[in-house]
Structure 1
Amino acid sequence: MSATPVSTARPLPSAAARAPASGSRLAALADTWLPRLVLSPTIIASLVFVYGFIGLTAWLSLTESRMMPNFEFAGFGQYTTLFEIDRWWTSASNLGIFGGLFILVCLVIGLSMAILLDQRIRHEGALRAIYLYPMALSFIVTGAAWKWILNPGLGLEKMVHDWGFPNFSFDWLVNSDMAIYTVVIAGVWQSSGFVMALFLAGLRGVDDAIIKAAMVDGASLPTIYRRIVIPSLRPVFFSVLLVLAHIAIKSFDLVMALTAGGPGNSSDVPAIFMYQFSFTRGQLGLGAASAMMMLATVLAVLVPLMYMETKGARNGR
């Protein structure tokens, strides 16, 4: 008898067996490309409308552009002209005064209010809402409201005079030496509650066991906050400084609504300088140069803060 030959060929997989494999490949492709497709419009828009326009502004600052853009390279003449304008240095000085006081006072008041609310006092929710309410307003509304309050013939000064104190004077709004400080008052009033909320969130994240252990060891509450709690809020301080510095540098609407840069140019800031020279005086190249100097100021604040934060994270602090 002859033996029946045995086939060694593997059977072809059925359609039902091939379906899961193809389905898994499609799922893998979807997991890989779907997030990219969803994010791509946002990324493209950011590249064009943020970084693209930053690049365009940088190039215009190197041209002789006036009413209309002129894309012919002309060197750094606009920056030389900018640094020769006294008004630019006045606005930069005002930014230093406003930014320094605004950040410092907001930090002190915000941290103090956060520590107060962290004591689990009565009506904490109502107080927190009151402190946060100014942040719900726009800077235009804040500036208009404080313009009425600080108006010598309408607001605080007139009210105190009506109470029987005719010698009281608070004319900072119309005093060229003090006008910039009215912007500080309005800015602090609006932003302190936001700073308080950030610090309060950080305080509530501190482990209670550490505080109780320190109290068992005999540490007083001020010492606990000074030596343990506040140093642990380093990331919160970084975030607060970053946000406040950004608000200070781009301050435009608050100053325009409150003082419009006056009296004269005494409360002028770089944002107003840039706007007026670019869009009302037909000096587009000069306005672009001032905008790039504002960007350089942002980077001068941002880069050291990020370096200190990353250095602290690497060191485990």
Structure 2
Amino acid sequence: MKTLENILPKLVIAPGFVLGFAFIYGFMIWNGILSVTGSRMLPNYEEFVGLEQYVRLWEMDRWYIALKNLGIFSVLYVGGSMILGMALAIFLDQKIRAEGVLRTIYLYPMALSFIVTGTAWKWILNPSLGLEKLAHDFGWTSFSFDWLVQSETAIYCVVIAGIWQSAGFAMALSLAGLRGIDDSIIKAAQIDGASLPRIYWRIILPILRPVVFSTVLVLSHLSIKSFDLVMALTSGGPGYASDVPATFMYVMSFTRGQIGLGAASATMMLMFVAALVVPYLYSELRTKPHDR
């Protein structure tokens, strides 16, 4: 009977584990295989080309634009979300009235999908529908906000929408970390004459380092997978001015009929994610001297 009790949970979990392993890691391996073939409209496993697709990828100006946009988006999106989220968390940590209502309002955008966020902000930033038209209707005819249709500024519209959605997530994690800090630490620092900003900068933020690091890791991961937000908001345009690697992969694989090239770009995206996740897992899971 005890043997059955020990085996039954494993039997229940096994199908999901096997399917998850097959669909996640199996498709990763399949994508890697496609990236070294000359596949175009359909997979062609007989035409082995080695690293030719990767060479083509790194020779394309569009790929470099996508990487540049990913860098701009990631830095501003992660940094903006962290700064705004931390500021909101500190504000709510002052035991203000209606804290629950404000916390819900700030966190609500995170409940939306990036598709909804992108569509909503596409309406808001559209010069003929959103902020610019509203300002003109109120008589401010000189007001202009056409970032969405300008090649140089379209990616920053994606940043604005991304920060709006994810700042609440950063706020929630930061607030949870703040609430876990003993108030006696703050009171002791105040008795020593430290001002509140100095307390947060020199004491609270260093204590929150694990929370900050985890939040940055999650947001960085989301920034690499920003396909749905970009497609809903700009579709990679004007032209391909706001392309990111995820949209580049989609266009090459399903619009241009270059499956092998798209698979190569997807493999590069996997490497970008691994570069973020693997060091974190190593630092968290490695055996420390005092744990032995």
Residues 79-124 of structure 1 show CA distances to partners (whole Å, capped at 9, x for unaligned) of 0111111111111111111111100000000000000000101110
* Shift in alpha-carbon separation, 1:85–1:315, aligned structure 2, 3 A: farther
Structure 1 window deviating more from structure 2 (42-51 vs 32-41): it is 32-41
Q: Aligned letter for 1:124?
A: E
Residues 99-153 of structure 1 show CA distances to partners (whole Å, capped at 9, x for unaligned) of 1110000000000000000010111011001101111211111111111111112
Q: Aligned letter for 2:28?
A: I
Task: After TM superposition, give the deviation of residue 304 of structure 1 in Å.
Answer: 3.5
Paired position in structure 1 for 2:149: 174
Task: After TM superposition, give the deviation of residue 311 of structure 1 in Å.
Answer: 7.8
How much identity, in percent, do the aligned residues show? 61
Structure 1 window deviating more from structure 2 (297-306 vs 95-104): it is 297-306
Residues 165-193 of structure 1 show CA distances to partners (whole Å, capped at 9, x for unaligned) of 22221110011100000000001001101
Q: Are 1:292 and 2:267 matched, yes or no? A: yes
Residues 38-62 of structure 1 show CA distances to partners (whole Å, capped at 9, x for unaligned) of 2211220121000111011011101
Q: Aligned letter for 1:242?
A: L
Give unmatched runs, 5+ long, in structure 1.
1-25
**Aligned partner (choices 40, 53, 56) of residue 81 of structure 1:** 56
Task: After TM superposition, give the deviation of residue 194 of structure 1 in Å.
Answer: 1.1
Equivalent position SS for 2:208: helix
Paired position in structure 2 for 1:150: 125
Paired position in structure 2 for 1:206: 181
Residues 238-269 of structure 1 show CA distances to partners (whole Å, capped at 9, x for unaligned) of 22112111111011111111111111110011
Distance 1:315 1:207 in 2: 25
RMSD (CA atoms): 1.9
Distance 2:246 2:166 in 1: 19
Paired position in structure 2 for 1:215: 190
Task: After TM superposition, give the deviation of residue 212 of structure 1 in Å.
Answer: 2.2
Q: Which residues of 2 match residues 1-317 of structure 1 at below 5 A? A: 26-27=1-2, 29-72=3-46, 73-307=48-282
Q: Aligned letter for 2:212?
A: F
Task: After TM superposition, give the deviation of residue 224 of structure 1 in Å.
Answer: 1.7
Instruction: Please tell me whether the aligned partners of residues 238 and 305 of structure 1 are also in contact (alpha carbons under 8 angstroms).
Output: no
State the structure with more CA Rg.
Answer: 1
Equivalent position SS for 2:6: helix
Task: After TM superposition, give the deviation of residue 220 of structure 1 in Å.
Answer: 2.0
Structure 1 window deviating more from structure 2 (206-215 vs 85-94): it is 206-215
Q: Aligned letter for 2:184?
A: A
* Shift in alpha-carbon separation, 1:268–1:315, aligned structure 2, 3 A: farther
Distance 2:225 2:255 in 1: 19
Equivalent position SS for 1:64: coil
Q: Aligned letter for 1:46?
A: G
Equivalent position SS for 1:67: coil
* Shift in alpha-carbon separation, 1:65–1:249, aligned structure 2, 3 A: same
* Shift in alpha-carbon separation, 1:250–1:184, aligned structure 2, 3 A: same
Distance 1:315 1:160 in 2: 63
Residues 179-233 of structure 1 show CA distances to partners (whole Å, capped at 9, x for unaligned) of 0000000010011011101111111111222222222222222222112211111
Give unmatched runs, 5+ long, in structure 2.
none
TM-score, normalized by length of structure 1? Answer: 0.87
Instruction: Please tell me whether the aligned partners of residues 235 and 309 of structure 1 are also in contact (alpha carbons under 8 angstroms).
Output: no
